[in-house]
Amino acid sequence: MVNYIWVPIVVGLLAVVFAAYLVFYVLRKDTGTPGMQKIANAIFAGATAFLNRQYRTIAMLSVLAAILVAGALALLGQGSQADKINLAWHTAVAFLVGAFCSGVSGYIGMYVAVQSNSRTASAARRSLGEALVVSLRGGAVSGFLVVALSLLGVSALFMLFGGLSQPALAPSLIVGFGFGASFVALFAQLGGGIYTKAADVGADLVGKVEANIPEDDPRNPAVIADLVGDNVGDCAGRGADLFESTAAENIGTMILGATLYQATNNIGWMLFPLVLGAFGIIASALGVLYIRPSVVTEPEQANGRDPSEIAMNQLNVGYYITCAISAIGIFAGSYLLLGGNDTTANYGIPAWVWYGLAGVVGILLSIAFVFITQYYTAGTWRPVREIAESSLTGPATTIIQGVTIGLECVVMPVLAICAALGLSYFFGSQVNIPIELQKMGIINVSGIFGTAVATVGMLMSCAYILTMDTFGPITDNAGGISEMGGQSEDARNITDALDSVGNTTKALTKGYGLGSAALAAFLLFSAYLDVLYGFKHDPAVYRVDLANMPIFIAALLGLALIFFFCSLAIRAVGTAAKRMIEEVRRQFQEQPNIMAENPEDRVDPDYARCVDISTNGALRAMILPGAIAVLTPILVGVLLGPQAAAGMLMVATMGGIVMALFLNNGGGAWDNAKKYIEAGFLRVNVKGQPVDRTDPEGIVLGKKSEPHKASVIGDTVGDPFKDTAGPSLHVLIKLLSTITLVLAPLYYFLHM
């Protein structure tokens, strides 16, 4: 059974090789005309300059955090002084490895993404199929590197920290890996989100609303900063987010598995998430490779179907292939690793079948989130249409309707999460507790391990989901390059179609990221109590009593943290966007030839100045919310104790999930309502009342109309919701879990 540890290591290395193959495939494509290359080079220079400065800042903060955590554990941890020092240096090393791997995966993924944009735009001149495959494989580099480095990092540290000789102790030594990943992810997502939305809001409000020019018009000084922001926010930021999810899920499941290992002497309980993660990489690779230029039918050969519909269908087929293969892997892994003779279950059904069913619940939750997110953010459904129609009466009603949809969209995802947790717990609890654990007074471990298996199942498709996410900014950039590079209408129709699909896939990834964060947070909460109380699921300690005053205070502080964190993130976007708007207006006023009618008389705007404004604004503004997010759980645990920290963690997780759903889907609905109008789907009759978008007698209210301007304002309100505060909350709720998990020995020493 111990030899299974080589499965994630070998598959992880093969995933790195596969990513290298994808890089080779993308980079050998042509980069288009000199005009397209000029724009792509400007995007590349801006993105790499920002990430270089951002990661230098994050590196300094990471080293400082590692030193402080190691010092605290060495001085105030549990056990003898030798035990304290041993835990301290293991945690610090794991923290730095996690931070390094997170940064590397995000940086390389972003590098390939910005190299893929001009190649996608160039491929669009030839066919939809080629452009789709180039952009998808460019995005897959980030997807596979993130999952591979997470898997390799946890597996290597498990072996190096004595996982093969003392398996039960190793998971507690590598929790720092998850903390390091969370730490980097928070600042990467915050900084990238602030950057991209400051540029986007400035470009939209002055360019579209005031100057009446298209979104990616080269006359807009903020257009390059906007295109750069798509990469640093959605590529590097989301990559760090899901890197953290996979790392936290692996470590949390291994900690829970340590309890079952101690009773059964079966290391398969601990290796299970690593082996299944490896199987998920294989499933995701097959899903990506399914999509080839030859399987994409061109629009003119598909009975007039919309090219965006064709492309989205292909991505969905690839995703379903990934999920189907993952389901097979769940049962195979459960049989091989969890189906020992010393584990029995109810109703005569083997234990591995029950755990396989729990894993399938996680896969079904990921599919449910995809459909729910599509319903609330895609233009073909009621929510987006309602927001678009509300723009007929101005910006105020557009904003009111968007807030309404955002509040409504919380219900279905929460029901899905509750159903997944309840079902997976039920399936897991059908596995009988080993007699050794019963004698120790330990209960519920098999049910909670069932929720861990569901988390594993959901994250098996992580590489494919992240591929679709990075596909979004690549196609967005390709659309801008195509428009600014003066490409033909046919080519721009293809890039516009792919851009529309990319907006949907980015929204789906946010939903997926939040769903996985919810399951991972519950898993880490259970792991925290395990570490705190010595791996005993005893009812006397495995309970958080909110009627206890310190615990109630901590819980209320945790909920307030969610709101204050969002306030700081959105305020940062507003502050940076204000400077961006002022700069764009200044350039239009001082350089009137930017807008000259005759192209020969035009002068180029100062793109670099706008890039610099976004960069400085993001780097300054990310520090305060990040510091508050890190320090709050530490202060609560130190001052109020470990049970109070558990209460804060529980309530903050619930509040963070609900708030992130509101921000993500509400912002996404506003964005697609604007695109719904831009696509010419908003139609009215002669009385100005909305009619069906297919009504041939309807009057089209598209770009530059008053409803369009109202929708742009709604979109700018939703921008910091869906791309800054919302995604950052995914990271925050997992960061709270990993901090409390790492510092559990400190809290215990001070208060128990």
DSSP 422-489: HHHHHHHHTBPPPHHHHHTT--SHHHHHHHHHHHHHHHTTHHHHHHHHHHHHHHHHHHHHHHHTT--H
- Whether 743 shows a pLDDT value over 90: the answer reads no
**In this structure, what token pair is assigned to residue 331?**
């049962």
| Averaged pLDDT for residues 65-74 | 88
Between CA 462 and CA 450 the distance in angstroms is: 19
The answer to whether residues 254 and 158 touch, using CB atoms and an 8 Å cutoff, is yes
Residue 537 has pLDDT above 60, yes or no: no
How many other CB atoms are found less than 10 A from the CB of residue 689? 10
Inform me whether the pLDDT recorded for 328 exceeds 90. yes
Both tokens assigned to 452: 């861990």
Total Cβ atoms within 10 A of residue 37: 16
| pLDDT tens profile 399-438 | 999 999 999 999 999 999 999 999 999 998 888 776 666 6
Residue 616: exposure state from Cβ atoms within 10 A (0-12, 13-18, ≥19): middle
Report d(CA 87, CA 76) in Å as an integer: 11
pTM of the model as a whole: 0.88
- Angle between helices 175-202 and 607-621 in degrees, nearest 10: 140
Structure tokens at 475: 């196609």
Indicate whether 281 pLDDT > 80: yes
Mean pLDDT within 203-207: 78
Looking at 533-622, list the stretches that DSSP marks H as alpha helix, in order from N- to C-terminal side. 549-590, 607-621
Which pLDDT belongs to residue 533?
60
Identify the CA nearest to 75 among candidates 747, 561, 557, 746: 746
Question: In Å, how far are 157, 293, 321 from 288, measured between CA atoms?
Answer: 29, 12, 9
pLDDT interval class at 341 (50, 70, 90): very low
Burial of 365 (0-12, 13-18, 19+ CB in 10 A): buried
- Own/partner pairs for 338-344, CB < 8 Å, 24+ apart? 338/266, 338/268, 338/269, 338/272, 340/264, 340/266, 340/268, 342/264, 342/266, 342/434, 343/264, 343/266, 343/431, 343/432, 343/434, 344/431, 344/432
Q: How far apart are CA 643 and CA 533, in angstroms?
A: 11
CA 85 to chain centre: 35
* pLDDT score at 540: 52
Question: Quick check: 288 and 466 in contact, CB under 8 A?
Answer: no
In the sheet with 690-691, reading across from the earlier edge strand, the strands are: 690-691, 683-684, 699-700
pLDDT in tens, 77-96: 666 778 788 888 988 999 99
- Cα–Cα distance measured from residue 442 to residue 159, given in angstroms and rounded to the nearest whole number: 28
Q: Which amino acid makes up residue 383?
A: P
Residue 151 confidence (pLDDT):
93
| 254 within 8 A of 169, measured Cβ to Cβ | no
In the DSSP assignment, the letter for residue 602 is -
Q: Residue 740: which of 626, 610, 648 has the closest Cα?
A: 648
Whole-number pLDDT of residue 387: 93
Q: Could you tell me the maximum CA-CA distance found in the chain, to the nearest angstrom?
A: 86
Look at residue 356 in the predicted model and tell me its pLDDT: 93
Quick one: tokens of 272?
Answer: 């299970």
The 3-state secondary structure of 622-659 reads CHHHHHHHHHHHHHHHHHHCHHHHHHHHHHHHHHHHHH
Ranges 156-165, 370-379, 409-418, 587-596, most confident: 409-418
Per-residue confidence (pLDDT) for residue 491, from 0 to 100: 84
What is the predicted pLDDT for the residue at 343?
57
Answer whether 111's CB lies under 8 Å from 235's CB: no
Alpha-carbon torsion, ordered 364, 370, 376, 379, to 10 deg: -140
Report the pLDDT averaged over residues 521-535: 71
Going by C-alpha positions, the residue among 184, 104, 90 that lies closest to residue 149 is: 104
How many residues are present in the chain? 752
Strand partners, 684: 690, 699
3-class SS of residue 232: helix
Q: What is the mean pLDDT of the chain?
A: 84
Q: Which helix (H) or strand (E) holds 700?
A: strand 699-700
Confidence bin at 245 (pLDDT 50/70/90) = confident
Residue with tokens 């950052």: 728
Intra-chain end-to-end CA distance of the chain, in Å: 38
- In sequence order, the 6+-apart residues with CB closer than 8 A to the CB of 616 are none
Tens-place pLDDT, residues 573-613: 888 888 888 888 888 888 888 887 777 777 888 888 888 88
pLDDT at 727 over 50: yes
Tokens of 247: 């790392």
SS (H, E, C) 533-551: CCCCCCCCCCCCCCCCHHH
Residue carrying structure tokens 């899901």:
242
What is the average pLDDT across 115-126?
89
Lowest mean pLDDT among 135-149, 517-531, 649-663: 517-531
Cβ–Cβ under 8 Å, residues 50 and 616: no
Query: Which pLDDT belongs to residue 550?
Result: 92
